[in-house]
Chains A and B, each alone.
Chain A
């Protein structure tokens, strides 16, 4: 049997199957142009599939306190199709958050001073964390020129979630307003593409500001792809230990509200400036 024979055989079998499974046109089935229902339209908190719950209201109230997939039910030992699809959709959201790039137009639109780490591509960024912690030479020159030494330097980085950038326009004005309330002005905001947390140490050393705040996309999980972390340090330097950093994580509309987090971050920055300390030594 040569390749043509095999191809012919496959065509015949497929045609046969299609003919046998053909359904009348008026039968309810998704036709062309129809879209499958969006499984992510219902959040895991509101989704409930236990067939005969003793106390539905109580279960749903409990589910409001967690994003864990409770009450999804099963088919034998397996997930139901719906749960499986939802799980896969959430996983896809996480993958998208990691693999898409932040729109350069958005970065300039925000008025950020845009630079890049030593990474040249997403693949390199994901496989070489060490390169994501260093600014490339062009960026070093740019930041040295454009970012003047100030009390607080604010940075934004894509990190592992481009989707998390949606929080930035809510966090930033709250941080700035909070700082203004303390009589502190922040300079222009720096943006770093392919950014790891350690890049803030490089900026700290380069600019010499008293505190550096980095808003960076968190590695997404299955709950959300939009979560953002705020890393802060008093006079960060590449040789400082990890414990020198203070972090506020889980900032997104389903976690700590972005605007509220911004106000809290401003208070933390003020305390770092007052106590000249950050990380685990800063007793909260």
Chain B
């Protein structure tokens, strides 16, 4: 049993926007004498769109109509009809100010993006997506160690640390090549992002709109930006200014483990590798920032790996690496699918072990989601016992259904996500408790955390598995 899912990735960045299409091949790898085991066996990028400048109507507003044209052209050139697309993601990345009209941009793309495409934003998820696209997760799995990726684009630097294939930490700094712009013809600075203006002010570097683009002075700006990257990795003591540069206030780059290898992706990564570019080739600070990173003694202390993708890391991550598969013995009502943006109510190991605590936790925390209405879907997630007894599964089903009763009465579907292999028997138990009519989805093999959202796609591989995208918003 083989199935091919067409996946799209659309990255709308501070500087450039890109589209890729991929084929994700899934196959049952079981021997035929055991339960099925459907896994992703191949991911192939079948179309790489041109790298286009993100169309803008003002420095902080994306031209939604022009962007739609750009994406439509990519579909035409790739020969892909929107209906064929089964999974993937649209990601609006980079400078926060640009995200002002994100909702409008996404609305313009919604019919193009197919049935099941995640629309998303959020620095943490962007970081993980870029890290996957750069191949940091694969490298960390291969090396059996930690690999970090810094995706340095026009507006932000997205950090992600992977430990043996799994994301271990993520963070984001407002550092990018396009935060200072230069008119090459006039040789003058035309834009300085507010945080960079403060950085220069603190460091005593003159850098203001209208100033002459002085190479030596701009090198110092790039160097100051690179210093902040070093601070984020613990290679230099953090300055008083450092907290200001964090994209999300208070959300610093965390290093739960030392970095084994470091890689760079994003547009600036190309300028790190290639020393031959004109300083103002792109009318911004990208080339100089790349050079500063190349020359940084601090950063070169960490062994370096080349990223599999540089400027396309985010779009490839979104289009190719964001989709996971559920376990292959699961239970669900297909009529509920696809279902998007389901918030996760995560129970701890201690809570799931104690039926009374589990029920109380679910009831209490369902209140957090009250604003979305009593029938809005919420997924109950827990790791789940390994190889539980039938009685234990019955108890889990009973507790979940009892705690969800008010929502069930309002018509909300019951959605359960576990890590341990128990979704089929738990799902059938839920059906026994809920009655045959009430809709539910019970999947396993998916690890989520509180604060995450999940999108669950239409069935694949003859209904054996469901494609799942976990949208991580936070690391705890």
Contact = CB atoms under 8 A, between A and B. Distances in A.
B424 A263 contact: yes
For the residues of B in contact with A, the DSSP-based class is loop
Interface in A210-257: 247-250, 253-257
B432 A259 contact: no
A260 B421 contact: yes
Interface residues of B, number: 32
A62 B164 CA distance: 10
Contact of B428 (A59, A174, A250, A284): A174
Contacts, number: 90
Given A247-B33, A284-B1, A262 B425 contact: yes
Nearest to A170: B390
Contact of A257 (B28, B143, B387): B387
B428 A257 contact: no
Interface in B388-445: 388-390, 393, 420-425, 427-429, 431-432, 436
Contacts of A62: 144
A157 B27 CA distance: 33
B34 interface: yes
A181 B428 contact: yes
Nearest to A173: B390
A261 B35 contact: yes
B428 A55 contact: no
A159 interface: no
A105 B431 CA distance: 34
Contacts of A266: 428
A283 B464 CA distance: 12
Contact of B32 (A57, A262, A284): A284
Interface string A169-198: 110011001101100000000000000000
A59 B144 CA distance: 8
B36 interface: yes
Contacts of A14: none
A263 B425 contact: yes
A258 interface: yes
B386 interface: yes
B145 interface: yes
A140 interface: no
B414 to A, nearest CB: 15
Interface in B1-55: 1, 28, 32-36
Contacts of A55: 144-145
B422 A259 contact: yes
B432 A177 contact: yes
Nearest to B385: A257
Interface string A257-284: 1111111101100000000000000011
Contacts of A283: 1
A283 B432 CA distance: 27
B431 A267 contact: no
B232 interface: no
A260 B164 contact: no
A67 interface: no
B314 interface: no
Contacts of A180: 432
Contact of A249 (B1, B33, B431): B33
Nearest to B397: A177
B436 A264 contact: no
B331 interface: yes
B282 to A, nearest CB: 40
Contacts of A258: 387, 390
A58 B140 CA distance: 10
Interface string B334-366: 000000000000000000000000000000000
Given A260-B421, A263-B428, A264-B329, A249 B390 contact: no
A259 B425 contact: yes
A170 to B, nearest CB: 5
Interface in A155-176: 169-170, 173-174
A253 B421 CA distance: 11
A59 B464 CA distance: 32
Given A180-B432, A260-B421, A58 B164 contact: yes
B393 to A, nearest CB: 5
Contacts of B331: 263
Contact of A259 (B34, B164, B393): B393
Contacts of B143: 58
A239 B390 CA distance: 36
Given A174-B425, A178-B428, A259 B390 contact: yes
Contact of B144 (A61, A248, A261, A284): A61
Contacts of A284: 1, 28, 32, 36, 464
A181 B427 CA distance: 11
A219 B164 CA distance: 36
A177 B145 CA distance: 44
Nearest to A268: B35
Contacts of B36: 284
Nearest to B260: A55
Contacts of B422: 257, 259-260
B334 to A, nearest CB: 14
A263 B425 CA distance: 5
B157 to A, nearest CB: 28
A259 B389 contact: yes
Give the 10 A-B CB pairs with smallest separation, nearest first: A58-B144, A263-B425, A257-B387, A263-B424, A253-B387, A259-B425, A259-B390, A173-B390, A264-B329, A174-B425
Given A55-B145, A249-B33, 14 more contacts: A57-B164, A58-B143, A174-B390, A177-B428, A248-B34, A254-B387, A255-B34, A258-B390, A259-B388, A260-B423, A261-B35, A264-B424, A284-B1, A284-B464
Interface of A: 55, 57-59, 61-62, 169-170, 173-174, 177-178, 180-181, 247-250, 253-264, 266-267, 283-284
17 contacts: A57-B144, A57-B164, A58-B143, A58-B144, A59-B144, A61-B164, A248-B33, A249-B34, A254-B387, A257-B388, A257-B420, A259-B389, A260-B387, A263-B425, A263-B427, A267-B424, A284-B28
